[in-house]
C-alpha cells in the first residue's frame, strides 16, 4: 500500500466456522476513518444491526491498530477494541497500551474482526502474516496472568517475543464489566469488552514480534516531530517523574478525589498514597510499553505494612483512587494488592470500585446485612473483605452474581433508599475514578453524553489551549462547560484512531505532524476535528439505532448530587442540567429535543448514508 503506516489488510475470524480470511482495507476507508476507533466504528455500524445483543454471535469484536502503531513514535503500541458492550448495551470502545498494537501490524494486519461464537474455547495466534485458531480448553479457569504465562511456556517464547491479551475468570463467566488484559497488566477495560470476548469463547490472542513491513513516508520529519512530542509529554503534568499517581494530591485540592462513595471530599491521608509517596517508599523497576521513553509504567514492590513483598504493576491514578479513598482504605500497599487482584481476575477497576463502595455504604447504613453478603463484613477499609468480594463477583458466586451486573443494575434490584446511593450514568456504566462534582464538570457531562461507554471528548480535564482555543476559566459554569466540551469534541477521538498512548502524545498538533510524516498526508487541525466528530456521530447513530434515549444522558442521583464539604461544597451541576444538554446538543449540530444528529450535520461529516436511519 502506498499510504505510509498501513498494511491495507483486515483479518476476519469466523469463530462459529473456525474460518480465517483476510480482506482489503481500501484507501477510501482509510482516509475517512484513519484507524483505531474510527475503523472500529465503521465496521460496528455496518455489521451489527438493531436487535443484536452484546452476547449474540452477530455482535462483532473489532481489534484495530492505527497508522502510528509500530512506527517508532513513543508509546505507539496501543490498540483499540470496539463492540456492542454489555454495561450500556450500546457501543463500547476502549484502548490498551503495551505492545499489541505494534505486534498486530508486524504480523501483517491493521485490524481483526471476530464474529460468531466458537463451539469450544479457542485462542488466536498471529505470526508472519498468518493466523491460526488453536484449542484453549486447557486455559479455562486460569486468571489473566496465568493465561499469559501458560501460553508463553506452551509456545517456548520469552516475554517480549509475543504480546498476549486475554480474559480472566470474569470474562469467562460474563461479568458485565470484564476487561481484556495483556502484557502483564494493561487493560482494555471499558464497557465489558472482556465479556464479549468470553461470549465468543475466545480466551486470548497472541501476536508475535517481527520486523516493520509498512512504509514511513518521511522518516526525518517523523523523528523531529516525535522528539518534540516527547519533550512536550515530559512537561505535561507530573507523569514523567511521578506517574499518573503524581496528580493524586492535586486532585484532592480541587475536590476531585472520590471518597467513600461521594460521602465526603476530604481525605487527609492523600499525601501518603500519592505517586510521590509510592515512588519514594516502594521499590520501583521500569517496565515501559513499546518504544516509550516516557516509561511511566513501573513494577512496584511493596516495602512496608501488611502487604510488604507484594509485587505488581504500579497502580495508575484511577486504581489508587478506586482502592484507596473510594473504599476508605489508607494503606498504599493494599492498593497495590487490590489493583493486581482486579487485573488478575480481569475486571474494570472503576466499575468494580463503584460497586464495592456502594456495597460498603449499604452495609454501613444497614441496607445490606452480613448475611446478605455471604458472611463478608464489608466495612470501610476492610481490604481483605474487598478481595473476597471481588473473587465472588468474578466467579459469580452468591451475592457476586448480582454484583456482576454492575452498580446500576444491582442497586435497582436491591431498591429502596439504597438505590439512591449508587454512582452511574443512566446508560448503565459508571464514571472513571474521580469525583466529577468537583472541578471536573467537563468530565461529568462528557461521561453522560459519550457514545463509547467511557469519556469521549475530555481527558485529564480539558485542554483547549492545545488546539488554539481559549482556555477554560470556570469549571463550575454550566454555560462554559457545555460550550467548551462541544468546541473541544472530536480531537480526542481522532487521537484514538492513531495507535498511540495519550500519556506520551498529549499535544494534538505535534501528533498530527507525526501522522503526516508517516502517511505522506497534509491533514490540518480542522481535518483532525472533522474525523473525530465523524467517529462520534457514527457511534451516536449506532446507539440510537440500538435503543438509546435522551433520558439516558444524565447522572444517577448520587453522581449528580451536591458536595457537602471540600472545595466544591454547594456546587450543583444538576441545577441547570437540561440547559447544559440543550447547549451541548445545539453546539454539536444535534436536535435539541432528541439529541439525534441533524441531517445537515451528517451530510457535513460525510455520513449522508446514515440519514435514512434518522
Distances (CA, A) of 272 to 245, 314, 531: 11, 15, 43
CB 185 within 8 A of CB 313: yes
Q: What is the mean pLDDT of residues 478-502?
A: 97
Q: How far, rounded to the nearest angstrom, does the alpha carbon of residue 102 sit from its chain's CA centroid?
A: 18
**401 shares its domain with 462:** no
Give me 306's grid cell: 501488611
| Predicted local distance difference test score (pLDDT) of residue 364 | 98
Dihedrals phi, psi of 160, to nearest 5 degrees: -90, 5
Q: Is the pLDDT of residue 206 over 90?
A: yes
Using a 10 angstrom Cβ sphere, with 0-12 exposed, 13-18 middle and 19 or more buried, the burial of residue 391 is middle
Q: Is the pLDDT of residue 441 over 80?
A: yes
Q: What is the mean pLDDT of residues 97-110?
A: 97
In sequence order, what DSSP letters do the residues of 384-400 get, joined into one string?
Answer: HHHHHHHHHHHTT-TTH
CATH of the domain at 552: 1.10.599.10
**250 located within any domain:** no
Q: Is the pLDDT of residue 17 over 80?
A: yes
| Predicted local distance difference test score (pLDDT) of residue 2 | 84
Q: How far, rounded to the nearest angstrom, does the alpha carbon of residue 201 sit from its chain's CA centroid?
A: 22
| Predicted local distance difference test score (pLDDT) of residue 564 | 97
**426 located within any domain:** no
**383 shares its domain with 463:** no
Q: What is the mean pLDDT of residues 436-458?
A: 97
**284 shares its domain with 389:** yes
Number of Cβ within 10 Å of residue 473's Cβ equals 8
Asked which of 421, 454, 483 is the last residue of a domain, the reply is 421
Q: Is the pLDDT of residue 113 over 80?
A: yes
Integer Cα distance of 281 and 276 in angstroms:
9
Using pLDDT thresholds of 50, 70 and 90, give the confidence band for residue 224: very high
**445 shares its domain with 410:** no
| Predicted local distance difference test score (pLDDT) of residue 21 | 97
Q: Which residue is associated with the grid cell 462520534?
A: 536
**130 located within any domain:** yes
Number of Cβ within 10 Å of residue 382's Cβ equals 18
> What SS3 state is found at 166?
strand
Dihedrals phi, psi of 280, to nearest 5 degrees: -105, -10
* Chain segment 225-238, per-residue pLDDT in tens: 999 999 999 998 88
CB 356 within 8 A of CB 390: yes
**226 located within any domain:** no
pTM confidence score: 0.97
Asked which of 421, 452, 468 is the last residue of a domain, the reply is 421
* First vs last C-alpha separation in the chain: 36
**481 shares its domain with 404:** no
**201 located within any domain:** yes
DSSP symbol at 302: -
**214 located within any domain:** no
| Predicted local distance difference test score (pLDDT) of residue 1 | 76
CATH of the domain at 289: 1.10.569.10
> What SS3 state is found at 445?
helix
Q: Nearest-CA neighbor of 319 among 336, 295, 297?
A: 336
**461 shares its domain with 491:** yes
| Predicted local distance difference test score (pLDDT) of residue 603 | 98
Structural domain of residue 596, as residue ranges?
441-613
**124 shares its domain with 93:** yes
Using a 10 angstrom Cβ sphere, with 0-12 exposed, 13-18 middle and 19 or more buried, the burial of residue 344 is buried
CATH of the domain at 18: 3.60.9.10
Q: Is the pLDDT of residue 614 over 90?
A: no
Question: Mapped to the 3 state alphabet, what secondary structure does 114-160 carry?
Answer: EECCCCCCEEEEEECCEEEEEECHHHCCCCHHHHHHHHHHHHCCCHH
* Chain segment 35-60, per-residue pLDDT in tens: 999 999 999 999 999 999 999 999 99
| Helices and strands (DSSP H and E) totals, the chain | 23, 15
Integer Cα distance of 71 and 68 in angstroms:
5
% of the chain residues with pLDDT over 90: 99
| Predicted local distance difference test score (pLDDT) of residue 141 | 97
| Predicted local distance difference test score (pLDDT) of residue 237 | 86
Integer Cα distance of 334 and 353 in angstroms:
14
Buried (b) or exposed (e) across 238-272, using 16+ Cβ within 10 A?
Answer: bbbebbbbbbbbebbebbbbbbbbbbbbbbeebee
Number of Cβ within 10 Å of residue 526's Cβ equals 9
CB 24 within 8 A of CB 520: no
Quote the radius of gyration of the chain (alpha carbons, Å). Answer: 22
Q: Nearest-CA neighbor of 181 among 200, 156, 163, 158?
A: 163
**246 located within any domain:** no
**593 shares its domain with 462:** yes
* Average pLDDT for the chain: 97
**398 shares its domain with 461:** no
* Chain segment 547-567, per-residue pLDDT in tens: 999 999 999 999 999 999 999
Integer Cα distance of 400 and 132 in angstroms:
35
**490 shares its domain with 416:** no
Asked which of 208, 226, 241 is the last residue of a domain, the reply is 208
Count of structural domains, the chain: 3
Integer Cα distance of 575 and 596 in angstroms:
24
Integer Cα distance of 160 and 205 in angstroms:
15
Q: What is the mean pLDDT of residues 376-389?
A: 98
**599 shares its domain with 552:** yes
| Predicted local distance difference test score (pLDDT) of residue 597 | 98
**242 located within any domain:** no
**281 shares its domain with 406:** yes
Q: Nearest-CA neighbor of 222 among 513, 498, 527?
A: 513
Amino acid at each position: 500500500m502506498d499510504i505510509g503506516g498501513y498494511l491495507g489488510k483486515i483479518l476476519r475470524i469466523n469463530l462459529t466456522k473456525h474460518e480465517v480470511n483476510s480482506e482489503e482495507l481500501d484507501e477510501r476507508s482509510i482516509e475517512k476513518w484513519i484507524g483505531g476507533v474510527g475503523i472500529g466504528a465503521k465496521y460496528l455500524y455496518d455489521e451489527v444491526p438493531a436487535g443484536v445483543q452484546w452476547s449474540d454471535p452477530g455482535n462483532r469484536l473489532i481489534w484495530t491498530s492505527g497508522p502510528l502503531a509500530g512506527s517508532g513514535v513513543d508509546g505507539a503500541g496501543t490498540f483499540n477494541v470496539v463492540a456492542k458492550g454489555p454495561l450500556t448495551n450500546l457501543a463500547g470502545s476502549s484502548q490498551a497500551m503495551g505492545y499489541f498494537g505494534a505486534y498486530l501490524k508486524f504480523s501483517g494486519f491493521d485490524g481483526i474482526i471476530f464474529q460468531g461464537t466458537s463451539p469450544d474455547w479457542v485462542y488466536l495466534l498471529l505470526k508472519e502474516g498468518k493466523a491460526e485458531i488453536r484449542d484453549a480448553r486447557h486455559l479455562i479457569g486460569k486468571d489473566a496472568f496465568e493465561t499469559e504465562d501458560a501460553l508463553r511456556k506452551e509456545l517456548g517464547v520469552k516475554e517480549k517475543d509475543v504480546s498476549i491479551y486475554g480474559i480472566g475468570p470474569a470474562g469467562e463467566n460474563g461479568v458485565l464489566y470484564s476487561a481484556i488484559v495483556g502484557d502483564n497488566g494493561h487493560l482494555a477495560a471499558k464497557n465489558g469488552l472482556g465479556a464479549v470476548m468470553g461470549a465468543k469463547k475466545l480466551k486470548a490472542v497472541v501476536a508475535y514480534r517481527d520486523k516493520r513491513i509498512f512504509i514511513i513516508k518521511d522518516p526525518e520529519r517523523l523523528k523531529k516531530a516525535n522528539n518534540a512530542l516527547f519533550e512536550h509529554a515530559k512537561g505535561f503534568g507530573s507523569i514523567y517523574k511521578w506517574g499518573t499517581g503524581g496528580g493524586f494530591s492535586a486532585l484532592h485540592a480541587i475536590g476531585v478525589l472520590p471518597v467513600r462513595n461521594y460521602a465526603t471530599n476530604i481525605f487527609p491521608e492523600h499525601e501518603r498514597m500519592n505517586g510521590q509517596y509510592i515512588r519514594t517508599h516502594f521499590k520501583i523497576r521500569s517496565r515501559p510499553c513499546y518504544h516509550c521513553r516516557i516509561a511511566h509504567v513501573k513494577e512496584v514492590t511493596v516495602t512496608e505494612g501488611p502487604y510488604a513483598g507484594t509485587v505488581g504493576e504500579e497502580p495508575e491514578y484511577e486504581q489508587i483512587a478506586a482502592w484507596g479513598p473510594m473504599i476508605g482504605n489508607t494503606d498504599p500497599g493494599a492498593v497495590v494488592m487490590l489493583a493486581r487482584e482486579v487485573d488478575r481476575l480481569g475486571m474494570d477497576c472503576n466499575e468494580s470500585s463503584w460497586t464495592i463502595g456502594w456495597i460498603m455504604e449499604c452495609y454501613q447504613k444497614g441496607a445490606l446485612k452480613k448475611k446478605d453478603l455471604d458472611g463478608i463484613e464489608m466495612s470501610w477499609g476492610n481490604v481483605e473483605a474487598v478481595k473476597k468480594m471481588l473473587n465472588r463477583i468474578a466467579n459469580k458466586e452468591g451475592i457476586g452474581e448480582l454484583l456482576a451486573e454492575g452498580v446500576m443494575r444491582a442497586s435497582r434490584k436491591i431498591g429502596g433508599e439504597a438505590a439512591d446511593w449508587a454512582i452511574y450514568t443512566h446508560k448503565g456504566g459508571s464514571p472513571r475514578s474521580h469525583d466529577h462534582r468537583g472541578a471536573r464538570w467537563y468530565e461529568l457531562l462528557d461521561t453522560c453524553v459519550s457514545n463509547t461507554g467511557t469519556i469521549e471528548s475530555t481527558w485529564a480535564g480539558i485542554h483547549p489551549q492545545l488546539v488554539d482555543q481559549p482556555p477554560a476559566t470556570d469549571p463550575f459554569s454550566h454555560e462554559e462547560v457545555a460550550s467548551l466540551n462541544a468546541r473541544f469534541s472530536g480531537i480526542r477521538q481522532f487521537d484514538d484512531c492513531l495507535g498511540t498512548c495519550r500519556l506520551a502524545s498529549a499535544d494534538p498538533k505535534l501528533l498530527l505532524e507525526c501522522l503526516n510524516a508517516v502517511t505522506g498526508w497534509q491533514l490540518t487541525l480542522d481535518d483532525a476535528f472533522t474525523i473525530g466528530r465523524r467517529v462520534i456521530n457514527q457511534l451516536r447513530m449506532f446507539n440510537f439505532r440500538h435503543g438509546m434515549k435522551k433520558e439516558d444522558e444524565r447522572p444517577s442521583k448520587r453522581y449528580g448530587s451536591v458536595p457537602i464539604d471540600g472545595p466544591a461544597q454547594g456546587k450543583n451541576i444538576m441545577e441547570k442540567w437540561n440547559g447544559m444538554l440543550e447547549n451541548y446538543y445545539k453546539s454539536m449540530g444535534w436536535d435539541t429535543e432528541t439529541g439525534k444528529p441533524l441531517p445537515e450535520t451528517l451530510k457535513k461529516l460525510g455520513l449522508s448514508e446514515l440519514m435514512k436511519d434518522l
